[in-house]
């Protein structure tokens, strides 16, 4: 007669299915994500003391003009018309001739709004102009 009970086999928790699910999620998020090139906008200005000899050769900064879905140009939080954009860029170019102008159009912005801002920049004498598209049209 055997009075000892048989030990229940311990349930093994396998990590393989969890690893498979995590790998699938990783691939899914990598495929569906959009990545921005964060090197396109300088985050730091060069130190004026350490680079005193090259200050005249490098532009002082950048001007970012955002074009909303409604087609209006926004500069530093203010909505501007084409003439105001030209006037502002003309004064900035007079102060710093090699300043960079970044135009950031919305994906839903009309093409004519982008062309108008580019024409305003050309009239102001901008030499360094970049158009950066950060989002897709919807």
pLDDT digits (tens, 9 = 90+) for 79-98: 888 888 888 888 888 888 88
**Mean of all residue pLDDT scores within the chain:** 78
pLDDT above 90 for 22: yes
Domains of the chain: 59-131 (3.30.420.270)
Q: Which of 133, 118, 111 is nearest to 85 (CA)?
A: 118
Which of the 8 DSSP states describes residue 41?
A: S
Cα separation, 83 vs 87, whole angstroms: 6
Q: Which of 61, 67, 68, 69 is nearest to 119 (CA)?
A: 67
Count the Cβ atoms, other than its own, within 10 Å of residue 110.
14
Position 54 scores a pLDDT of: 44
Residue corresponding to tokens 């569906």:
32
What 3-state class would DSSP assign to 103?
strand
Q: How big is the chain by its Cα radius of gyration, in Å? A: 28
- Which region holds residue 77: left if phi is over 0, alpha if psi is between -120 and 50, else beta? left
Q: With bands split at pLDDT 50, 70 and 90, how would you rate the model's confidence at 61?
A: confident
The pLDDT of 111-122, averaged and rounded, is 89
pLDDT above 50 for 56: no
pLDDT above 60 for 49: no
Residue corresponding to tokens 């964060």:
38
pLDDT top residue among 76 and 2: 76
């Amino acid at each position: 007669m055997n009075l000892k009970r048989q030990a229940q086999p311990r349930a093994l928790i396998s990590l393989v299915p969890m690893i498979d699910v995590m790998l699938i999620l990783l691939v899914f998020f990598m495929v569906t994500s959009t990545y921005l090139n964060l090197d396109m906008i300088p985050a730091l200005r060069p130190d004026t003391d350490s680079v005193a000899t090259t200050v005249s050769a490098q532009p002082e900064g950048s001007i970012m003009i955002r074009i909303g879905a409604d087609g209006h140009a926004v500069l530093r939080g203010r909505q501007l018309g084409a003439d105001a954009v030209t006037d502002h860029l003309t004064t900035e170019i007079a102060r710093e001739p090699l300043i960079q102008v970044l135009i950031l159009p919305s994906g839903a912005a009309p093409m004519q709004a982008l062309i108008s801002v580019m024409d305003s920049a050309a009239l102001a004498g901008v030499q360094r102009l970049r158009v950066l598209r950060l989002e897709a049209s919807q």
